[in-house]
Amino acid sequence: MPSDYPSSDNPFEALSEESDDARWAFGTGFDDPLAGIDPSVPDGVDRGALAAYCLMLGDDALVMSHRLQEWCTHAPELEEEVALANIALDLLGQARLLLARAGVAEDKGRGEDDLAYFRDASDFRNVGLAEVENGDFAHSTVRLLLFATWRLALLDRLTTSRDPVLAAIAAKGVKEVAYHRDHAALWTVRLGDGTDLSHERAQLALDDLWPHTGELFTAHEVERLLADAGVAVDPAGVHAEFDAVLDEVLSRATLRRPEPVPAHLAGRDGAHSPALAGLLTEMQSLARDHPGAAW
* pLDDT (0 to 100) of residue 262: 79
Q: Return the CATH number of the domain spanning residue range 44-287.
A: 1.20.1260.10
Nearest to 271, CA basis, from 72, 108, 127 = 127
pLDDT in tens, 151-199: 999 999 999 999 999 999 999 999 999 999 999 999 999 999 999 999 9
Report the greatest alpha carbon distance in the chain: 60
* pLDDT (0 to 100) of residue 193: 97
Q: What proportion of the chain, given as a percentage, has pLDDT over 70?
A: 88
CA distance linking residue 94 with residue 103, whole number of Å:
14
* pLDDT (0 to 100) of residue 203: 98
CA distance linking residue 135 with residue 175, whole number of Å:
27
Q: How would you label 39-64 residue by residue, b for 16+ Cβ within 10 Å and e otherwise?
A: eebeeebbeebbbbbbbbbbbbbbbb
pLDDT in tens, 219-267: 999 999 999 999 999 999 999 999 999 999 999 999 999 998 876 668 9
The C-alpha angle 275, 281, 287, rounded to 5 degrees, equals: 150
Cβ atoms of 170 and 161 within 8 Å: the answer is yes
Is a pLDDT exceeding 70 seen at residue 46?
Answer: yes
Average pLDDT, the chain: 88
Is a pLDDT exceeding 90 seen at residue 74?
Answer: no
At residue 115 the predicted structure's pLDDT band, cuts being 50, 70 and 90, is very high
Please state the domain extents for the chain. Answer: 44-287
SS3 30: coil
Is a pLDDT exceeding 70 seen at residue 37?
Answer: yes
CA distance linking residue 61 with residue 82, whole number of Å:
18
* pLDDT (0 to 100) of residue 162: 96
